[in-house]
């Protein structure tokens, strides 16, 4: 899949796969807390079952930038 055609769920999955295993649970917890959602909804986003709302993508970008100095989503 080309870079510009990636689905947000795929971008989230690739970001989480790039995180060191020891930091994964803490990072997921921070993303869940920041988006004020449940672990079940977050899991659905990660698996591509449901769409990630635009506002939540922006919040997750903020958290990922604080923690790893990189963005998950390319927002237009």
Q: Each residue of 33-72: pLDDT tens digit?
A: 999 999 999 999 999 999 999 999 999 999 999 999 999 9
Q: What is the value of pTM for the model shown?
A: 0.88
Domain for residue 73, yes or no? no
Q: 31 lies in which domain range?
A: 3-68
The domain tally of the chain equals 1
Q: Assign 1 a pLDDT band (cuts: 50, 70, 90).
A: very low
**pLDDT at res. 6:** 76
Domain for residue 49, yes or no? yes
Mapping DSSP onto H, E and C, the string for 9-72 reads HHHHHHHHHHCCHHHHHHHHHHHHHHHCCCHHHHHHHHHCCCCCCHHHHHHHHHHHHHHHCCCC
Q: With a cut of 70, say whether residue 4 has pLDDT above it.
A: no
Domain for residue 19, yes or no? yes
Judge residue 45's burial from the number of C-beta atoms within 10 Å of its C-beta, 0-12 exposed, 13-18 middle, 19 or more buried: buried
Domain for residue 75, yes or no? no
Q: How much is the average pLDDT of 27-36?
A: 97
Nearest to residue 51, comparing CAs of 2, 7, 17? 7
């Amino acid at each position: 899949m080309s870079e510009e055609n990636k689905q947000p769920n795929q971008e989230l999955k690739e970001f989480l796969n790039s995180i060191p295993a020891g930091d994964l649970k803490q990072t997921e917890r921070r993303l869940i807390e920041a988006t004020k959602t449940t672990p079940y909804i977050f899991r659905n986003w990660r698996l591509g079952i449901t769409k990630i709302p635009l506002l939540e993508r922006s919040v997750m970008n903020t958290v990922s930038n604080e923690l790893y100095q990189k963005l998950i989503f390319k927002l237009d």
